[in-house]
Amino acid sequence: MTPDELSHVLSAALASAVADGTFALDADAVPTSVHVERPKQREHGDWATNVALQLAKKAGVPPRELAQELATRLGSTPGIKAVDVAGPGFLNITLEAGAAGELARTIVESGAAYGRNDSEAGKKVNLEFVSANPTGPIHIGGVRWAAVGDSLARVLEASGAEVTREYYFNDHGAQIDRFARSLLARARGQEAPEDGYGGQYIAEIADAVIADAVAAGDTDPRDLPDAEAQEVFRSRGVERMFGEIKSSLHDFGVDFDVFFHEDSLHGSGAVDRAVARLQDAGRMFEADGATWLRTTDFGDDKDRVVIKSDGDAAYIAGDIAYYLDKRERGFDEAIIMLGADHHGYVGRMMAVCAAFGDTPGVNLQLLIGQMVNLVKDGQPVRMSKRAGTVVTLEDLVDAVGVDAARYSLARSSVDTSIDLDLDLLASATNENPVYYVQYAHSRTCAVDRNAADRSVARGDGFDPALLDHETEAVLLGRLTEFPRIVAQAAELREPHRVARYLEGLAADYHKWYSERRVLPYPDEEVETVHRTRLWLNDAVRQVLANGLDLLGVSAPERM
């Protein structure tokens, strides 16, 4: 029996008690689906609900009395072994072992589909993340969004949404100019401009640009007049940087569907059209020679300049056009993941959304994630190119590998800032919980290999009532939760819940493994109990694999 089914049974019992006048409740006060949850204490049964506590006041009945009435009505339901009233009025429900154990077969037969749900079905979602400027390699902060963002995309897809992963290249404006000037200066052996970029990668990109140009039969850009040379370094340098960012993300297991170039918005007239639309809607005004968007009408703390007094578009103009573009491409929800250093955008972007007549928080959702801090010897280390303390995506992967990197970044809530210890990163990789989860998976695979050797096969028999050990009830309960965890991770946009779930599942599996043998001893015959346990082993294997996949982490068969 699944929690959903149990929930319906409870609702029905409640409804019938209201219908025959046992409880004096308005029909609309009766919840359509009763919330059931896994109790922390095993003694409290397989499932528990607090409906009686919540409805007691409305019904004018003491909670325990209300609970007792429900317990009586549930008592004879097939699959339910016992219903107890506990504490202030909880209902603790214990299922028949067979009813619970049936799940093992369901999971194995569902395969990769187990965990998929329809909580986000029908939604067309644009998920924008990373979007680091193409003026340098992706550093540790961006890697967090790569790991979390891609995992969120996977979780949303598993919940029925159609997701487009999008990366916004800020390839327009002053930062790119600084990047181009830095490349040119470096190529000519000059000092980096005061406001420019000076890392080692600048030299590498500069050299590559020269080589690219020469290979294409063009003049060595160093010999061109300044303006022309800078343009060559800009276009070829940015192209190079795009390539590096794309390939390092790909190596990290993150592939975007769309790389959107800010420059295209300015070149195509999209900015002008978006601004005109807000003007027609009466959201703009002129002041001090500039054109403003009255974002304060929608809760922003100050109005924003869209067209500067020198006639150039301000940065937000691109964002306005970009948002409109996403909506015109048919996305119901535009989700943007931003670092905490950009949370100042929230107010103005939500106002932009509202100014177009959309609903902030629905059509546009901004997810703010806290920063990743570097720590050495317990002391915070400021990332500095000069001091050589910049940690890039490649550095992180080189140090711990893709699986450990993705897992450690995706397993905690983005609301908390993460401290990464550089020394710990380089040495003690074994402390990463990813190995605990992966080990459980490879253990299930080892059992499968041995089962094949002993000719234990699932198909030959399955009797769920034989899954009657304490650790089996716990394990089955955990397996039942998986689809809800995925749905919850999608709804709350919190993929880290999947990782935490897997750690719990791995622990339950290891405990079961140490209590119950899947295979017969050498002198024993193969019996139904062995085959039945193999079903359970394989169900765990499937869920671990499905969960790890949602995190973009591999599920190794051996390690």
Tokens of 214: 């020469």
First to last CA, the chain: 35
Q: Tally Cβ neighbours within 10 Å of residue 524.
A: 11
Our CB check for RNA shows the closer of 210 and 274 to be 274
CB of 223 to RNA, least distance (A): 29
Rule CB under 7 A: say whether 10 interacts with RNA. no
Q: Which of 192, 258, 383, 507 binds RNA (CB under 7 A)?
A: 507
| Rounded Cα gap, residues 393 and 67, in angstroms | 55
Whether 452 and 407 have beta carbons less than 8 Å apart is answered as no
Instruction: Annotate 205-270 with three-state secondary structure.
Output: HHHHHHHHHHHCCCCCHHHCCHHHHHHHHHHHHHHHHHHHHHHHHHHCCCCCCEEEEHHHHHHCCH
Q: Which of 46, 128, 395, 494 binds RNA (CB under 7 A)?
A: 494
Q: How many residues bind RNA (CB under 7 A)?
A: 88
Our CB check for RNA shows the closer of 280 and 310 to be 310
Task: For 376, list phi and psi in degrees, rounded to 5.
Answer: -140, 125
Which residue type, as a one-letter code, is found at position 247?
S
Tokens 């800078």 sit on residue? 230
Total number of residues shown for the chain: 559
Site for RNA in 368-387 (CB under 7 A): 368, 370-371
Our CB check for RNA shows the closer of 222 and 454 to be 454
Beta bridge partners of 166: 128, 258
Tokens of 232: 């060559």
Rule CB under 7 A: say whether 90 interacts with RNA. yes
| Rounded Cα gap, residues 120 and 486, in angstroms | 11
Residue 416 CA, chain-centre distance (Å), reads 15
Q: Which of 290, 383, 422, 526 binds RNA (CB under 7 A)?
A: 290
Our CB check for RNA shows the closer of 213 and 477 to be 477
Q: Which of 305, 409, 498, 545 binds RNA (CB under 7 A)?
A: 305
Q: x/- binding map, residues 137-176, to RNA, per CB under 7 A?
A: ---------------------------------x-xxxxx
Q: Which of 59, 108, 265, 518 binds RNA (CB under 7 A)?
A: 518
Our CB check for RNA shows the closer of 340 and 422 to be 340
Site for RNA in 173-232 (CB under 7 A): 173-176
CB of 438 to RNA, least distance (A): 8
Rule CB under 7 A: say whether 343 interacts with RNA. yes
Rule CB under 7 A: say whether 75 interacts with RNA. no
Our CB check for RNA shows the closer of 258 and 290 to be 290
Q: Which stretch binds RNA (CB under 7 A): 217-225, 249-257, 384-392, 426-434?
A: 426-434
CB of 478 to RNA, least distance (A): 13
Q: Is 535 helix (H, G, I), strand (E, B) or coil?
A: helix
Q: Which of 496, 502, 540, 543 binds RNA (CB under 7 A)?
A: 496
